[in-house]
A and B are shown apart, each in its own frame.
Chain A
């Protein structure tokens, strides 16, 4: 069962749920009033009593309004009830910096949710989908396949440096990778996919091979995903590092409207190339 604003008849703000309401009916694909905290809580209540809801935030920024329910109930109820109630709920939605959508619609909120105990970012799961990636077409296998939620994805194996990234920054990194290859570098690119927990196995194997790490993320520098990933790497793989762990994050500013300013807020491929050159010196 899915609930959220305009998921039904409208097909979802980015047409993710297009066609589903016609196929499954209004109660299964539920258009809700604009009450994020309450309909997220409703999703939690439904999950506790046997349903498997998917709550869609029209924009992940709106889920800030649901933070009470997500943090207190979603994350904690399984624990405070002593394991009696499971909350099989998925909270998904578009987020990240789009094209000049303004500060409030372009929030990079991954790190806000990272510290909530009991929450998996990616049972209960919060999925952050990037606004600009909805238009990418990729070949998806026809048969059903199940991806392991906790594993990272090896995008491009390499020898010189490990680049850890996620979401839209993966595409910036791959762009930078093309330039780097032309310059003679061989980066290994890993899409960590799961922001909590981190897949330390895949990450560790890579670091043991390359001995150099660059983290490229879209969220803000302070208190960001990169910060906790860096800490985890230093804790676990200190002996394998030949250079300090570098982290490229977006600026600690609300996303500006002007196109030029917006570009400077987020990490761009050119910066990634420079960073790799620096690390590999």
Chain B
């Protein structure tokens, strides 16, 4: 029996995989783009039985072909369809989410240059297909963990635009009361577990959230608990120890987590190829015992198909998946990045593959909606963003008394003062200092 290997599969026939939503899998309906490969691993029999109650069907019928076949084969962008990949409602939802992400980020840039927000702001322009493709499939109870490039993940997960904008302006009405900022978006209500400034830091947290899901199902016996966790991170993070440590633990304990790599080829100014011995990140999944997928991250429909597979696997208790999305950020690493190193040709190539434009083309060509439907959505989003800015502008900044709040979950953590009472009980405490 061979060890874990990954092969490239020509996705010319209908998908052999199962989707939990049971939808139609039409491999031929790709949005026009030159390279469309979905690379699936050969997933061998697990040597030990898992604690999971579902009986996983392990071997999938897949076609193994050589890479030259893949590269030379032509996939017709507009081949005759028997089935569409999405319904009209889904199409409009995807479109609206991506336009929201794009418009929001563009507004952030404007506000930053007008001096309304400060510090490090990392924009997501160009990568919308990944966030929308994955997060719109989730339930409210599923968790998302992100990085410093987290505004659009927050929006896709359902955090209101006004709460995110107010947080960016540093106002008390922000989703984190102005205490987090651009890189630390959290929402307990929407199960957005952050927003982390150091790369790789969120991956163990995501692994822990997935662990809780399994724990609740098996130890606390909550039979309905099939919540999954998505961990988003970039190509640079894939050279970090925490990434590998968590791949190991997630596969070891078959945690319901999906590791989503947003490979935009650049870690600030460091090209992925210069930093990584084997740049094909999807291959690292099978090395730890989980499937590794590579998908065109500029195409929301392809991302969505792969996401459905991976999320379905996790919900059924079959364990984690690694998905590498080839994507690109249209702007610099952050608003402070002059972005001088990237080749203009490369940028132009990816700009031509703008996910929003591509989805629009697909929707119109397949008569899922009209131009005016889409224009209406764009107008609606413009209004949402305007309102968010007005709300943020009008909101008050945090008062002085907020400085010492939330440092400890239990403010008795500030200790007992010289007078024998807990310092937090002193009414003048919030005007004082936090030193102990």
A218 → chain B, closest Cβ, in Å?
20
Interface string of B415-434 (1 = CB under 8 A from A): 11111111100000000001
Which residues of chain B in 61-111 are interfacial with respect to chain A, using CB atoms and an 8 Å cutoff? none
Interface string of A169-204 (1 = CB under 8 A from B): 000000000000000000000000010111111101
Give Cα A62 to B206, complex, Å.
22
Contact A51 B215 (CB under 8 A): yes
Give Cα A139 to B18, complex, Å.
61
Q: Which residues from chain B contact A205 at a C-beta distance below 8 Å?
A: 420
Of chain B, the residue at the smallest CB distance from A41 is B204
Q: Which residues from chain B contact A151 at a C-beta distance below 8 Å?
A: 416
**Chain A CB within 8 A of B137 CB:** no
- Known A-B contacts A41-B242, A197-B436; the reply to A80 vs B418 at CB < 8 A is no
Interface string of A105-136 (1 = CB under 8 A from B): 00000000000011010010000000000000
Contact A38 B246 (CB under 8 A): yes
Q: Which residues from chain A contact B211 at a C-beta distance below 8 Å?
A: 42, 45-46, 51
Q: Which residues from chain A contact B197 at a C-beta distance below 8 Å?
A: 72
**Chain A CB within 8 A of B405 CB:** yes
- Known A-B contacts A82-B179, A150-B415; the reply to A123 vs B408 at CB < 8 A is yes
Give Cα A49 to B178, complex, Å.
22
Q: Which of B186, B210, B241 meets A80, CB within 8 Å?
A: B186
Give Cα A33 to B214, complex, Å.
18
Give Cα A247 to B399, complex, Å.
40
Which residues of chain A in 231-249 are interfacial with respect to chain B, using CB atoms and an 8 Å cutoff? 232, 236-237
Contact B208 A78 (CB under 8 A): no
Contact A45 B215 (CB under 8 A): no
- Known A-B contacts A50-B212, A69-B204; the reply to A81 vs B180 at CB < 8 A is yes
**Chain B CB within 8 A of A279 CB:** no
Contact A197 B410 (CB under 8 A): no
Contact A123 B179 (CB under 8 A): no
The number of chain A residues touching the other chain, given as a range, is 35 or more
Contact B413 A150 (CB under 8 A): yes
Q: Which residues from chain A contact B179 at a C-beta distance below 8 Å?
A: 79-82
Interface string of A32-67 (1 = CB under 8 A from B): 110101111111111111110000000000000000
Interface residues, chain B, with chain A CB atoms under 8 Å away:
51, 143, 145, 174-181, 184, 186-188, 193-198, 201, 203-216, 218-219, 241-242, 245-246, 248-249, 252, 405-410, 412-423, 434, 436
B396 → chain A, closest Cβ, in Å?
15
Of chain B, the residue at the smallest CB distance from A51 is B212
Contact A196 B436 (CB under 8 A): yes
Contact B209 A46 (CB under 8 A): yes
Contact B407 A79 (CB under 8 A): yes
Q: A79-B406, A80-B184, A83-B405 are in contact. List 17 more A-B contacts (CB 8 A).
A: A35-B249, A37-B241, A41-B203, A41-B204, A49-B208, A50-B216, A73-B205, A80-B176, A80-B194, A81-B180, A87-B409, A117-B407, A118-B407, A150-B413, A197-B413, A198-B415, A201-B417
Q: Which residues from chain B contact A201 at a C-beta distance below 8 Å?
A: 416-421
Contact A83 B436 (CB under 8 A): no
Q: Which residues from chain B contact A223 at a C-beta distance below 8 Å?
A: none
Of chain B, the residue at the smallest CB distance from A114 is B436
**Chain B CB within 8 A of A86 CB:** yes
Contact A37 B242 (CB under 8 A): yes
Give Cα A53 to B248, complex, Å.
20
Contact B219 A82 (CB under 8 A): no
- Known A-B contacts A41-B203, A196-B436; the reply to A82 vs B406 at CB < 8 A is yes
**Chain B CB within 8 A of A25 CB:** yes
26 contacts between A and B (CB under 8 A): A27-B219, A28-B219, A35-B245, A38-B241, A39-B245, A41-B201, A42-B211, A42-B246, A45-B193, A46-B209, A47-B208, A48-B209, A49-B212, A50-B212, A72-B198, A73-B205, A77-B186, A77-B194, A80-B180, A81-B179, A81-B194, A84-B187, A117-B434, A118-B407, A197-B416, A199-B416
Q: Which residues from chain B contact A32 at a C-beta distance below 8 Å?
A: 249
Contact A42 B249 (CB under 8 A): yes
Contact B208 A81 (CB under 8 A): no
**Chain B CB within 8 A of A269 CB:** no
Contact B177 A83 (CB under 8 A): yes
Interface string of A15-33 (1 = CB under 8 A from B): 0000000000101100011
Of chain B, the residue at the smallest CB distance from A47 is B208
Q: Which residues from chain A contact B51 at a C-beta distance below 8 Å?
A: 27
CB-based closest 10 A-B pairs: A45-B208, A41-B204, A197-B415, A82-B177, A81-B186, A82-B176, A35-B245, A38-B245, A45-B205, A42-B208
Contact B408 A78 (CB under 8 A): yes
Give Cα A53 to B210, complex, Å.
14
Give Cα A87 to B216, complex, Å.
18
Contact B418 A48 (CB under 8 A): no
Of chain A, the residue at the smallest CB distance from B231 is A45
Q: Which residues from chain A contact B196 at a C-beta distance below 8 Å?
A: 72-73
